[in-house]
């Protein structure tokens, strides 16, 4: 990931960030063989997924519903994501 221009976070070496020339931030969290892409824009997520898929074998799965035993609920109409942990 670092070779592709991403910077690893100091606090967690499995989380990478990249800011493009227009100031758009993309965050990529890597856990085992899973990638989680985070951005304000789905357009940028799709762009960066395509870029990274040229370097890593990837499958495009549905939007994330669970990560590290935390449930995510996406309210797309109101642009709100809620986290639940039991």
Question: Apex CA 43: angle with CA 67 and CA 66, to 5°?
Answer: 10
Does the pLDDT at position 85 exceed 80?
yes
Residues 34-50, mean pLDDT to the nearest whole number: 83
What pLDDT score does 83 carry?
A: 92
The top-scoring range by mean pLDDT among 49-53, 56-60, 80-84 is 80-84
What pLDDT score does 65 carry?
A: 86
For the chain, report the end-to-end CA distance as a whole number of angstroms: 33
Quote the CA–CA distance of 75 and 80 in Å, as a whole number: 5
Does the pLDDT at position 8 exceed 90?
yes
Quote the CA–CA distance of 57 and 44 in Å, as a whole number: 19
Residues 6+ positions from 28 with CB-CB distance below 8 Å: 1, 6, 15, 16, 17, 18, 35, 36, 37, 38, 48, 52
What pLDDT score does 62 carry?
A: 76
């Amino acid at each position: 990931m670092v070779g592709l221009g991403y910077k690893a976070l100091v606090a967690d070496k499995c989380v990478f960030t990249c800011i493009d020339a227009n100031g758009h931030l993309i965050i990529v969290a890597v856990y085992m063989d899973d990638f989680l892409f985070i951005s304000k824009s789905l357009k940028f997520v799709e762009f960066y997924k395509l870029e990274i898929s040229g370097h890593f074998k990837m499958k495009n799965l549905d939007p994330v519903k669970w990560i590290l035993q935390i449930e995510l609920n996406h309210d797309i109409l109101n642009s709100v994501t809620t986290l639940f942990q039991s």
